[in-house]
Chain A
Amino acid sequence: MFEYRTRQRRHYACRATLGLEVHLFFLGVLGAARRFAIDKSSYLLIELWSYAVVMSTLELKSLVFPNRDIAGRDAEVGSDSLTDEERLRIATAYDDLTVPTPREHAVFTRWLKQKSGS
Chain B
Amino acid sequence: MDLSWSEADHQARGELQSFECAFPPKVSRYRVRPHRHPRPWQATVQSYVRSLRTPYIDPDHVLIGRDEGKIAAVVAYCTVLDAVEPPGHFVKAIARANAYRGTGVADSAMAELLRRLRGDNNGFEVQSGVYGKVHSLNSSGRAYMRRHGFEAIDRDEDYEIWAREL
Q: Is B57 positioned at the interface, with any CB of A under 8 Å from its CB?
A: no
Q: Mark B28-63, 1 if CB is under 8 A from A, else 0.
A: 111100110000100111111011110000000000
B156 neighbours in A (Cβ, 8 Å): 96, 104
A104 neighbours in B (Cβ, 8 Å): 131, 133, 154, 156, 161
Contact A94 B48 (CB under 8 A): yes
- What secondary structure prevails in chain A residues at the interface with B? helix
B90 neighbours in A (Cβ, 8 Å): 100, 105
What's the count of A-B pairs with C-beta under 8 Å?
A: 105
Contact B128 A112 (CB under 8 A): yes
Contact B158 A108 (CB under 8 A): no
Q: Is B159 positioned at the interface, with any CB of A under 8 Å from its CB?
A: yes
Q: Report the count of interface residues on B (CB-CB < 8 A).
A: 43
Q: Is B9 positioned at the interface, with any CB of A under 8 Å from its CB?
A: no
A83 neighbours in B (Cβ, 8 Å): 34
Q: How far is the CB of B165 from chain A (nearest CB, A)?
A: 6
Interface residue ranges of B4-30 to A (CB < 8 Å): 17-18, 26-30
Q: How far is the CB of A67 from chain B (nearest CB, A)?
A: 7
Contact B45 A67 (CB under 8 A): no
Contact A86 B88 (CB under 8 A): no
Closest to A3 in B: B51
A90 to B86, CA, bound (A): 31
Which of A21-29, A40-48, A74-82 lies on the face that meets chain B? Answer: A74-82
A contact set with B: CB distance below 8 Å: 3-4, 7, 67, 73-74, 76-77, 79-83, 85-86, 90, 93-94, 96-98, 100, 104-109, 111-113, 115-116
A-B contact pairs, 24 of them (CB 8 A): A3-B52, A76-B50, A80-B26, A80-B27, A81-B29, A81-B30, A86-B34, A93-B158, A94-B44, A96-B156, A96-B158, A97-B44, A97-B93, A98-B76, A104-B156, A105-B82, A105-B88, A108-B153, A108-B161, A108-B163, A109-B82, A111-B129, A112-B127, A115-B165
Known contacts A80-B26, A107-B153; 11 additional CB pairs below 8 A are A74-B18, A76-B50, A77-B47, A82-B34, A90-B43, A90-B47, A97-B93, A97-B133, A105-B82, A106-B85, A107-B154
